[in-house]
Amino acid sequence: MQHQATNKEPKTFTDILRTTFKSYAEVIAVFLNRLGLRPNTVTFLGLLGHFVAAYLVIRGNITAGGIVLLFLAPLDFLDGTLARLRGESSRFGAFIDSVTDRYSEFVILGSLLVYYLNQGNSLGSILVYLTAAGSILVSYIRARAESLEFDARVGFLSRVERYIILIPCLIFNLPIYGLWFLAIFTNFTALQRIVHVRQQAYQAGSEGE
């Protein structure tokens, strides 16, 4: 994913992964660049792949959908790396990347919702709803906090962690267990971020007195 540079130490597992696998991502990005692929092409290929995975899930091919997502996961890092390699990084590119990430995640959650509705599984449907709600809040709280110049890059379950939980559960055809975990801890992460912002607001207020 594309982000503006920051001097702060990584606070999330996503940041740690990005730092750890940076050299590998750069090697793959060089290869993709030689193929003539542009960053936005990689981004939209990832989105298209999510629709393929969603179709498989709706059809009941849960394992196949999970395998497709497993192969798509690296694209989440490669578009930003490729953009920097080509000197095409931009705020609009970062915006498109973030929006596409949200669509990709909701496409998969939507497919699980359709799957459980077709099965008449009310519990599964409710868990998908709670997971989607938590995911939206995690992203929204960070965006809103940063618009007010607060830092909200904390929390137990950001997008990468959500995929690390969901993909294996799909591959082993156990999505309900992943959804239980996500339904609880996405909302817990949202609360973590609210508390973190509240602490910063309180500290800023105290310093201003």
Q: Which of 76, 79, 101, 151 is catalytic?
A: 101
101 catalytic per annotation: yes
Task: Tell me the DSSP string of the chain.
Answer: ------SSPP-SHHHHHHHHTHHHHHHHHHHHHHTT--HHHHHHHHHHHHHHHHHHHHTT-HHHHHHHHHHHTTHHHHHHHHHHHHT---HHHHHHHHHHHHHHHHHHHHHHHHHHHHHT-HHHHHHHHHHHHHHHHHHHHHHHHHHTT------S--HHHHHHHHHHHHHTT-HHHHHHHHHHHHHHHHHHHHHHHHHHHHHHHHHH-
> Which residues are identified as catalytic?
101
